Each structure stands twice: as structure tokens, then as C-alpha cells.
Amino acid sequence: MVDLDLSVSVAALALARSGKLGSAALRQLLAQVAEEETQGRSMALNDILATAGVSRPEVNMSVSDAERDIEKGMALGIKAVPLSSSLYPKTLREINDAPPILFVRGNIEQLRHLPGVAVVGTRQATPHGLLIASRIAQMLSDADWPIVSGLAMGIDAAAHEGAMKGKSYTIAVLAHGLEKASPTMNRPLADRILDSGGLWVSEHPVGVSAKPSAFVLRNRIQVGLSCASVIVEGADKSGSKTQAEFCLQNRRALFTVMADPSSGVATMHELPRILVQRGAVPLRSKADYPHMLEIIAKRADALVND
């Protein structure tokens, strides 16, 4: 992370906390900062505040708090990557309601190798669902696709485990500050994600605890880091439904597991049935994987090169 990213992150966090700028205006400001940088004109903290029409005295306390929290994060290896940074993933920048700052813990250079593929599903997973999630994630990882998931119990954890058996890395998108991973049961898994060269990411600085609404909103980040989502299983009201909605809204490919009844595979298929009706590509067996890989590659190319 360059010094400019640090200054921009402090300014953005201070402006957001002070209420001086809403999310849309803050994203617009950061886009302007990025444009200035491409023209060789770097902006210091006070320059960014002035561009926002805010004087330093108006937000002095917010600036001090932002500096403190970002420094606390840096001491733990957490880096702040503002939307204006060259490290900020292009596919995340272009989603609806992109987070102004992405907080990252782990091998930050992995942000340059996105998009990945999100593999997610219910916490109340079936044995077959867990096995399928792990196998799909490993297959995608072996095909050099980073695997994105939410570290939740059930399908998410199985996806991270499968990814680490493959060639690529995995990203855990969390709904709180990155000083520690949650849920507690998955902390050993979270640590192994970092040890294997992966990442934890969040839109929240240190000290922010998870709220119910944050788990819904983090799904949009999972979508933004990916060119496609695979919903393995879930009930009709599963939280993964919002993942699918964000996916479709943001021009990502959507897949879901719909095992052939004659195969003897028993998964929770209420949500997959709904998603197929809405246009998701069904994965009925391993024979569908080559076609899935073709769709993923085309969608990634379109997102990156548009």
C-alpha cells in the first residue's frame, strides 16, 4: 500500500463517520482522486477534504479517530485499500454500492489476480452438500480460480477447505473488523486461509462488530470479487438468496446445484429450484463442470475488459 492509499483511506473514513458525505458522494470523490492520480497529481489528506468541500477543523475528531483505527489495523497486518487505489479490484469497484474502503488481511497482492468464483450456501448443510461444495471449490481452484466465500459454518467452510486443496487461494469475506475471525469455531480455518496465502477482507475497520444487516451486505462484496457464484444448497429463505440477487443485478454468472434424483444425492434444493427458474445454470453432475468453466471464463473476460 502506498502513502496515497493511507491518506485517502483516512479521509474517506473520516468523511463517512462525520456524516459529511454519503456513500454515493464518497465513491464519486474517490473516483476523482483516482483520476487525479492517473494525471500525476497526488492529493494529500487536506486536499481530499477540500475537494469534498470540507475544512479540516470540521472533521478533526473524525480524522483522529480514523487515523487511530487504521493504525491499529496496520499493527495487526490489516491494510486499508480505498476505491481509488490501483489495488482495489476492478470488478468490485463496478458493482452497485461498492464499499469506499476495503480492509484486507493477508497476501494483499492476491487482489491483483481477481476475479474469482464465489462458492456459498446454507449453514445447515447436508453431508452431500458439504462434499459437493468442497469438490467444486477444489476443481475451480485447480483451474486457477480464486475461491470467495463467507467463512460461515456449513457450505462456506467446506468451500474454503476445498479451495485450499487446489492450486489457487481463497478469500474469506467477513462482516466485521478483521482483528479476529468469526465464527469462533472457524478461527482455525481462518488462520489456515492466511497461512496458505489467502485473504480476509471486509468493509469494516477494526473494532466494528458484526450486525445482522452486515451479513446481507457482505454478499455484495463476495459478488464483486467474483465473476460467478455457485449456490450449492439452501432453503427457500436462505441468506444465499441475497447472494444470487446481487449476482444477477451485477451481470455475474449464476450456478446452482440440482443433482439428478436418480443419482442418490440428497441436498437441500428449495433455493436451487427457485434460482433455476430465475435463470441460474443448474449443475446436475460433474459432466456439467466443463461447460461451467467455459461460462466462467467468458464472464471474467467480459467484466475485466469492458
Closest-CA residue to 26 (of 44, 9, 39): 9
Residues 260 and 292 in one domain: yes
Structural domain containing residue 244: 111-305
Residues 75 and 151 in one domain: no
Residues 252 and 121 in one domain: yes
Would you give the DSSP letter of residue 210? P
pLDDT at residue 133 tops 90: yes
Q: What's this model's pTM, rounded to 2 decimal places? A: 0.94
| Domain termination site, one of 37, 57, 88 | 88
- Mean pLDDT in residue range 86-91: 96
pLDDT at residue 114 tops 80: yes
Residues 72 and 177 in one domain: no
pLDDT in tens, 5-52: 888 999 999 999 998 998 899 999 999 998 887 776 778 888 899 999
Q: How many percent of the chain have pLDDT more than 70? A: 98
Radius of gyration of the chain (CA): 20
pLDDT at residue 2 tops 70: no
Structural domains of the chain, count: 2
- Mean pLDDT in residue range 95-124: 96
Residues 225 and 134 in one domain: yes
Residues 189 and 137 in one domain: yes
Residues 130 and 233 in one domain: yes
**Helix, coil or strand: residue 256:** strand
Closest-CA residue to 255 (of 282, 291, 224): 282
Phi-psi region of 134 (alpha: psi -120 to 50; beta: other; left: phi over 0): alpha
Q: What is the pLDDT of residue 1?
A: 40
pLDDT at residue 152 tops 60: yes
Residues 7 and 69 in one domain: yes
Residues 44 and 131 in one domain: no
Residues 231 and 292 in one domain: yes
Residues 67 and 153 in one domain: no
pLDDT in tens, 183-224: 999 999 999 999 999 999 999 999 999 998 999 999 999 999
Strand stretches in the chain, DSSP E = 78-82, 101-106, 116-120, 147-149, 170-173, 199-202, 226-231, 253-257, 281-283
**Helix, coil or strand: residue 116:** strand
Q: Are 190 and 79 in contact (CB under 8 A)?
A: no
The owner of cell 451479513 is 215
Specify the DSSP element, H or E, that contains 93: helix 90-93
Q: What is the pLDDT of residue 42?
A: 75
Residues 143 and 199 in one domain: yes
Q: What's the CATH code of the domain at 167?
A: 3.40.50.450
Asked, for residue 94, whether it belongs to a domain, the answer is no
pLDDT in tens, 58-68: 998 899 999 99
pLDDT in tens, 267-287: 788 999 999 999 999 999 999
Asked, for residue 103, whether it belongs to a domain, the answer is no
